[in-house]
Structure 1
Amino acid sequence: MSIVVRDVREHELDSVLALNNAAGPAILPLDAARLRHFYDTAEYFRVAERDGALAGFLIGVGSHAEHDSSNFRWFRERYPDFFYIDRIVVASRRRGGGVGRAFYADAQSYAELRYPQMACEVFLEGSTDPALLFHGSFGFHEVGQHVMAETGVRAAMLMKPLCSYAWVRETYGDALPDAPWITRPRTAYTAAALARRATGTCA
């Protein structure tokens, strides 16, 4: 069965919260109020379905968002314009099945029309090689490290340039075409369609 990525629905927030808090030490825990804040304010909050069941979620915000993450602030102190992936969670039974790549392809499809680069972090605790390899294979590179004051955890700070952004800005400015995959709310796309949209790293 295909993976479908779509906007989260309000009635799914309890399931998203449970998924987040079962993800382990690589993901910071959330409470219901914090998750509701993301639902109300995050410009990108999408879930993945596989075989009709929730398989994961991704939350992202732009660099001008009012976001209190110390990792987000680290990026904002150094870069003027970016799309920040606050968290991506894939259900344990779905890991290794393409859900993470479907999310990153979808997030890039959204971000590259609006921001010159994407930012995220990987916690450097325990065995981080799979996560670093995943991000490296998707075009991210380390631009520094940061110790989170609230947790004491060190994170590798990663950025990815978005090659299409300059062309989009030169061609359309702020007047993007009125198409379902561009405007919000966005329609659902299968993983295969997202893979066709995703671009590689900049030359």
Structure 2
Amino acid sequence: MSIVVRDVREHELDSVLALNNAAGPSILPLDSARLGRFFDTADYFRVAERDGTLAGFLVGFGSRRGHDSSNFAWFAERHPDFMYIDRVVVASRRRGGGVGRTLYADIQSYAELRYPVLACEVFIEHDNDAARIFHGSFGFREVGQHVMPGTGIRASMLTKELCSYPWVRETYGDALPDQPWLARPRPLGEACLATGTR
């Protein structure tokens, strides 16, 4: 069955919140107010569906918009321009089925047209070898570590250079061609094109 990636809908936020808070210690819990702020401010907030059921989601913030995360601030001190993956969550029953890879491919296709670097972190405390291997297979490399204030959680800070960005920037500057597949996720007042992959 295909995996469909599309913009989150406001009426789905309760389901997204439940999915986030059931993910375990490798994902920080959320409350509905913070998730609502993500919905209002994130550059990228998309869900993956498999067989018509919510299978995962990914939230990302571009450095030009800003974000109140200490991990985002860590990257901002070191990179003038980047796309930050705040969180990716895959339903436990869907792990290992390609949902995470599909979400990462989708955010990379969005980010590489707009930012030179994709950034994220993996918590070290939980001995998360699977997450480190997953990110390494996507070309992410550790560029430092950061202890998150108020939590004591140590994170491995990862970045990936997006090799398409320089060519896109030199060729198009800030004006990408007017094509549906180049549209920003969650454009104001418009529906965004859903993509499906196998």
Query: TM-score category by the smaller chain?
Result: over 0.9
Distance 1:127 1:95 in 2: 17
Distance 1:50 1:127 in 2: 28
Distance 2:104 2:15 in 1: 21
Deviations 1:46-77 (A, max 9, x none): 00000000000000000122311111100001
Does residue 189 (structure 1) correspond to residue 171 (structure 2)? The answer is no
Does residue 136 (structure 1) correspond to residue 136 (structure 2)? The answer is yes
Cα RMSD of the aligned pairs, angstroms, is 0.9
Does residue 67 (structure 1) correspond to residue 67 (structure 2)? The answer is yes
Shift of 1:10: 0.7
Distance 1:57 1:81 in 2: 23
Deviations 1:8-57 (A, max 9, x none): 00110000000000000000010001000010110100000000000000
Give the TM-score normalised by structure 1.
0.93
What SS does the corresponding residue of 1:100 show, helix, strand or coil? helix
What SS does the corresponding residue of 2:105 show, helix, strand or coil? helix
Aligned partner of 1:198 in structure 2 is none
**Structure 2: tracts of 5 or more residues without a match:** none
Which amino acid in the other structure matches residue 4 of structure 1? V
What SS does the corresponding residue of 1:46 show, helix, strand or coil? strand
What SS does the corresponding residue of 1:190 show, helix, strand or coil? strand
Give the TM-score normalised by structure 2.
0.95
Aligned partner of 2:46 in structure 1 is 46
- The percent identity for this pair of structures is 76
Equivalent residue runs for 1:150-165 within 5 Å: 150-165=150-165
The list of structure 1 runs, each at least 4 consecutive aligned residues, that deviate by more than 3 angstroms after superposition, is none
Which amino acid in the other structure matches residue 189 of structure 1? T
Distance 1:35 1:127 in 2: 27
Alignment size in residue pairs: 192
Which amino acid in the other structure matches residue 196 of structure 2? T
What SS does the corresponding residue of 1:181 show, helix, strand or coil? helix
Shift of 1:102: 0.1
Bigger Cα displacement from structure 2, 136-145 vs 121-130: 121-130
**Structure 1: tracts of 5 or more residues without a match:** 193-203
Distance 1:64 1:174 in 2: 13
Shift of 1:191: 2.4
What SS does the corresponding residue of 2:38 show, helix, strand or coil? helix
